[in-house]
Copies of this chain bind each other. A is one copy, B any other.
């Protein structure tokens, strides 16, 4: 990717080799970060860069994950989160707002309610004298590519001694229609051999036809069902999701479903394989009982931390510092 700006816009842009490389790099970064000297090294890598975090949709987790990733690499951050404090109140177009960011900062990380907005901005900036990389940190109901990366990273770490992600059975449970993390992850899983995906949801919240078409096209097996308890014992990983009812209003009303039937309760631990894992992109409401948290198969807190490290790896890669970090790792006998 040398000579051209590396934007991170959608899950489909990653190939299998990229996924393996970035997970390897995240593992190394994690090791390096265990000492003060290692943290000081990491903070020296991009200490001449500055990033804008433009988050106009509510978010704590993803925002702080990126913020932390930048801090680990020595990147200085600024943020615009509340449109009310911005020039938009004075009637500026959002394109002008973001172009201004590109003149002050070396990297733009954005979460936006509009689908394709990050792509549009990346294209716009590429046409200017001063293009900078854009990372999509979630756009509408559509894409959340770095969430998909952290999920892949979590699966890879969880199945490290079981031959990796290939040939695993993974169930997605809950609001699959509007959960963009499921959409992005499902697409990435087609890159692995002999997967089987289960989509467990009531009919109004089932996975979109576009994803099903994508799986068919990429010859990935799947099953669509509303029977959660039947699926639990069959799978290696269960990916729980939250009812995204913040979209209800826009879509013209709430669909009344029994969300309780799609919740992971303490008794379900008995049904789950001994080496199975439970994931969740968080935030959760009641989809997973807090009684499940202390079970070693509960992987959702580890997911949070994996998200930080994979984002460090991604940003280092965008600025072509991946090889430099691998060299440091080797030369320090880590």
Residues of A within 8 A of B (CB): 36, 39-40, 43, 47-48, 50, 52, 55, 58-61, 64-65, 67-68, 71, 76, 78, 80-82, 84-87, 89-92, 95-97, 99-101, 103-105, 128-130, 242, 246, 282-285, 290, 301, 304-305, 308
In the assembly, what is the distance between CA of A65 and CA of B101, in Å? 9
How far, in Å, is A303 (CB) from chain B's closest CB?
9
**Chain B CB within 10 Å — which of A36, A39, A64, A246 has the most?**
A64
- Of B60, B104, B304, the residue contacting A86 (CB under 8 A) is B60
A100 and B285 within 8 A (CB): no
On whether A103 and B305 interact (CB within 8 A), knowing A40-B48, A90-B246, A91-B285, the answer reads yes
CA distance A311 to B85 in the complex (A): 21
**Which residues of B are found within 8 Å of A61, using beta-carbon distances?**
87, 100
Say whether, besides A81-B85, A90-B242, A283-B92, A40 and B47 are in contact (CB < 8 Å). Answer: yes
CB distance from A28 to the nearest CB of B (A): 17
Contact partners of A48 in chain B: CB under 8 A: 36, 39-40, 43
Query: If A68-B104, A71-B76 touch, does A284 touch B40 (CB 8 Å cutoff)?
Result: no
Interchain CB contact (< 8 A) of A284 among B71, B92, B128: B92
Give the docked Cα–Cα distance between A33 and B29 (Å).
28
- With a cutoff of 8 Å between Cβ atoms, the chain B residues found around residue A80 in the complex are 60, 64
Number of copies: 3
- CB pair B82–A85 under 8 Å, yes or no, is yes
For the A-B complex with A71-B76, A103-B304 known, give 13 more contacts whose Cβ atoms are closer than 8 Å.
A39-B48, A50-B71, A58-B85, A58-B86, A60-B80, A60-B85, A64-B101, A90-B246, A91-B283, A91-B285, A92-B285, A104-B308, A130-B305
A91 vs chain B, min Cβ distance (A): 4
Closest CB-CB distance, A132 to chain B, in whole Å?
12
Known A68-B50, A242-B90: A284·B96 in contact at CB below 8 Å: yes
Residues of B within 8 A of A36 (CB): 47-48
Q: How far is the CB of A325 from chain B (nearest CB, A)?
A: 16
By a CB distance below 8 angstroms, the chain B residues around A87 are: 58-61, 282-283
Instruction: Give Cα A268–Cα B97 distance, bound, in whole angstroms.
Output: 25
Which residues in B have their C-beta under 8 angstroms from that of A89?
Answer: 58, 246
A282 to B67, CA, bound (A): 28
Q: Nearest-CB distance from A323 to chain B (Å)? A: 16
> A86-B60, A301-B99 given as contacts; is B285 within 8 A of A65 (CB)?
no
Alpha-carbon distance between A290 and B104 when the two chains are bound, in angstroms: 20
- Complex Cα distance, B285 from A105, in Å, reads 23
**Residues of B close to A304: CB separation below 8 A:** 100, 103-104
Q: Quick check: B78 and A64 within 8 Å, CB to CB?
A: yes
| Interchain residue pairs A-B with the least CB separation, the first 8 | A92-B283, A39-B48, A87-B283, A60-B86, A91-B285, A36-B48, A71-B76, A60-B87
